Amino acid sequence: MSRVAHPAGPLHASVLPADHPPAPPADLNALHPGIWPRSAIRKDGVLTIGGMDVRALAGAHGTPLFVLDEEDFRSRCRDYREAFGADAAVFYAAKAFCCRAVLRWVAQEGLGVDVCTGGELAVALAAGFPPERITLHGNNKLVPELEQAIGAGIGHIVADSFEEIARLGYLAERHGAQPKVLVRVTSGVEAHTHEYVATAHDDQKFGFSLSSGAAQEAVMRVLAAPSLDFAGLHSHIGSQIFDTAGFETAAHRVMAFATVIRDVCGVSIAELDLGGGYGIAYTSEDDPASVKEIAQQMRAIVQRECRASGLAAPRLTVEPGRAIAGPGAVTLYEVGTVKDVDGLRAYVSIDGGMSCESGDIVVRDLYLPSDLAPGDLVAVAATGAYCRSMASNYNHIPRPAVAAVRDGTATVIVRRETDDDLMRLDVG
């Protein structure tokens, strides 16, 4: 923790009584492997990321502030590419964190990008992302979004409902286009994760069920549409998954379905997109599988199934979001108040969220230095994915900036919102 000048501001993180905090070593990743950005160092009590002292970052850009280690993000892109090999494709899931600078890094590292709205697609196109390396997802894509995707000539559109197949066929014909279509299937896998981010059990809104026969019907309808080019199958079982058994079961089931398609429709799938969902460590107890292990298992399953059924191996695609964007960022907050509640616990309020909700907790139970005081900085690790991208303006709080750090320099890639931004849409 480091002292900086103190503009007051409310927010709440709760902590246990701060009695005996362990002294962390210089290398934060030695203490908590995989949680801190790869360039994070704590030396003489000072946290640096990308060669930048966090006190200087807070001083120059204010708090709360997302600090994103560019080389961490890029190196995770490369880890995925290397692990899955040259004959597979890695698409970054933009929903984890989407801005032009980051999508340029993704393109430069040779990945594709998957987007799930017209807004994300617009950012990707504005970043100069090659359209043929963009995939559009979504369970209820709007007609303008489909037209935007067809018009831009993006690489793949993932079909998610019968209505959408009909709409897409009609719109593609009207545009004189023939987009590549992947059919999203739900494999019936109950992913071991929070129920709101599990997406492959039968009772949910995404895709076509394998067990009900809907997936086969969907493939047949895409094949029957002259303006659609059936490219293959897509499956995504959920997010923040540690138990790789779920991925394996889904891969088995989807490959078994590919054999059915070959036998019934006489068509071999050219592509197999197995989605994202790889879990990351948020605490020292979390122990996610390595990218290498995951890639090895997925590739082995697909190869085995192909050998057994005589299918030509489809091009494998994966779509990690959290695992690429998550670990490389920390959020810097400034402590506003420290309230000791009758010996029960100390509540440390920081300047990063709501001012009136008791469920607004960054970390519930944590030892922090007992001399923590207003003006100190608190850095929360592993906040690169689904934090800035899911931030809201609830309570009319402007959303924080994102600063990318690298080799001792910082670049603001998303600026902090102002009160003027908050009032821009309020037409009075």
Ligand X SMILES: Cc1ncc(COP(=O)(O)O)c(C=O)c1O
Q: Which of 155, 275, 353, 384 binds ligand X (CB under 6 A)?
A: 275
Show contacts with ligand X in window 113-132 (CB under 6 A): 114
Binding mask 278-297 for ligand X (x = CB under 6 A): x-------------------
For the CB of residue 276, give the shortest distance to ligand X in the complex, in Å: 3
C-alpha 403/C-alpha 48 separation (Å) is 13
Q: Which stretch binds ligand X (CB under 6 A): 74-82, 92-100, 159-167, 374-382?
A: 92-100
For the CB of residue 212, give the shortest distance to ligand X in the complex, in Å: 20
The residue to which tokens 């490219």 are assigned: 231
**Binding to ligand X by residue 322, rule CB under 6 A?**
yes
**Binding to ligand X by residue 219, rule CB under 6 A?**
no
Nearest C-alpha neighbor of 406 from the set 13, 21, 50: 50
Nearest C-alpha neighbor of 134 from the set 151, 166, 164, 111: 111
Is residue 35 classed exposed, middle or buried when 0-12, 13-18 and 19+ CB atoms within 10 A define those classes?
buried
Q: Which stretch binds ligand X (CB under 6 A): 33-41, 219-227, 273-281, 306-314?
A: 273-281
Both tokens assigned to 390? 């899911």
Which residue in 98, 116, 356, 387 is the catalytic one? 356
**Binding to ligand X by residue 321, rule CB under 6 A?**
yes
Q: Specify the residue, 81 or 137, whose C-beta has the smaller distance to ligand X.
A: 137
**Binding to ligand X by residue 239, rule CB under 6 A?**
yes
**Binding to ligand X by residue 237, rule CB under 6 A?**
no
For the CB of residue 404, give the shortest distance to ligand X in the complex, in Å: 20
Q: Specify the residue, 323 or 382, whose C-beta has the smaller distance to ligand X.
A: 323
**Binding to ligand X by residue 320, rule CB under 6 A?**
yes
Distances (CA, A) of 65 to 28, 62, 298, 353, 412: 20, 7, 37, 12, 10
C-alpha 163/C-alpha 148 separation (Å) is 18
Q: Which of 319, 334, 351, 376 binds ligand X (CB under 6 A)?
A: 319
Q: At what angle do helices 143-152 and 162-174 cross, to 10 degrees?
A: 50
Q: For 396, which DSSP code?
A: G
For the CB of residue 365, give the shortest distance to ligand X in the complex, in Å: 25
Contacts of residue 174, Cβ cutoff 8 Å, sequence gap at least 6: none
Binding mask 163-202 for ligand X (x = CB under 6 A): ----------------------------------------
For the CB of residue 298, give the shortest distance to ligand X in the complex, in Å: 14
Q: Which of 1, 88, 149, 323 binds ligand X (CB under 6 A)?
A: 323
Both tokens assigned to 235? 């499956």
For the CB of residue 338, give the shortest distance to ligand X in the complex, in Å: 34
Q: Which of 93, 191, 350, 401 binds ligand X (CB under 6 A)?
A: 93
Contacts of residue 277, Cβ cutoff 8 Å, sequence gap at least 6: 191, 193, 236, 237, 238, 239, 240, 241, 247, 320
- Cβ contact 407:61 at 8 Å: no
- Judged by CB under 6 A, how many residues of this single chain contact ligand X? 17
- Cβ contact 58:334 at 8 Å: yes
Q: Specify the residue, 97 or 257, whose C-beta has the smaller distance to ligand X.
A: 97
Q: Taking the mean position of all CA atoms in its chain, how far away is CA 317?
A: 16
Q: Which stretch binds ligand X (CB under 6 A): 7-15, 144-152, 225-233, 315-323?
A: 315-323
- Cβ contact 124:152 at 8 Å: no
Q: Which of 96, 182, 214, 378 binds ligand X (CB under 6 A)?
A: 96
Show contacts with ligand X in window 363-402 (CB under 6 A): 385
- Kind and range of the H or E run holding 49: strand 46-49
Both tokens assigned to 211? 């067990």
Q: Specify the residue, 227 or 383, whose C-beta has the smaller distance to ligand X.
A: 383
For the CB of residue 249, give the shortest distance to ligand X in the complex, in Å: 17
**Binding to ligand X by residue 74, rule CB under 6 A?**
no
Whether 265 is catalytic: no
Is residue 389 classed exposed, middle or buried when 0-12, 13-18 and 19+ CB atoms within 10 A define those classes?
middle
**Which residues are known catalytic residues?**
356
Residues at the contact surface with ligand X, assessed by CB under 6 A: 93, 95-96, 114, 137, 236, 239, 275-278, 319-323, 385
